Amino acid sequence: MRERPIIFSAPMVRAILAGSKTQTRRVIRKPERFTNIRECGFCCKIGQPGDRLWVRETWQADPIIDDTWASTAWSGCKDSRIADLPERFRHPRYVNFRADWLHGEIRWRPAIHMPHWASRITLKVTDVRVERLQAISESDAVAEGLSRSSDGFAWHVEDDRHRAADPRESYASLWETINGAGSWDANPWVWVVEFKRLP
């Protein structure tokens, strides 16, 4: 069993926390490297069944200011390095997560810079397979974090930007937002990683 980091956006983190996201698709960057791409699940660097993924998300450390020299020195500079954060505050309970933040804008740290100690979500990989992006089924599109709209007639992710009666259409809209115009029509080979959230 290996542990690896994986980045998710704030809406996808909220979907994981709500239990509606149990799959992720990631583009295979160099599919030509594989002679038979349908059988290369073992090549997936994201993870294999049984592996654990710790989620990186947009964040900011939020230690208690307790008047000790270490905490005063850390909090005295907006650009303090995370390496300067006192050891006792290196825990998710001393972290603000953008996915949860409702109190106005603060200076966030990018997900790519989140250390393992700050991660609050651990996923266990249950399956890995390879397919073309457009081969996604309706049920798999829903497992990507879609939910029913309040009127019950459409699928979306949090807002109406990706609203469509067909979950696949809604997911295609979401994919284009994340990966750029034309990325759905390009129909790339993707890793399909299924997971469950660990307590």
Q: Which CATH number fits domain 3-57+121-197: 1.25.40.10, 2.60.40.10, 3.10.400.10, 3.40.50.300?
A: 3.10.400.10
Q: Write down the pTM of the prediction.
A: 0.85
CA triple 75-81-84, angle to 5 deg? 70
Q: How far is CA 149 from CA 7, 16, 140, 170, in A?
A: 26, 18, 18, 11
Strand 189-197 with 122-132, pairing = antiparallel
DSSP 72: H
Backbone angles phi, psi at 110, to 5 degrees: -65, 150
Note the pLDDT tens digit of each residue in 116-164: 999 999 999 999 999 999 999 999 999 999 887 776 656 667 666 667 7
Note the pLDDT tens digit of each residue in 84-119: 777 888 999 989 999 999 887 788 999 999 999 999
Q: How far is CA 60 from CA 65, 97, 125, in A?
A: 15, 7, 27
**Distance from C-alpha of 64 to C-alpha of 75, rounded to nearest angstrom:** 9
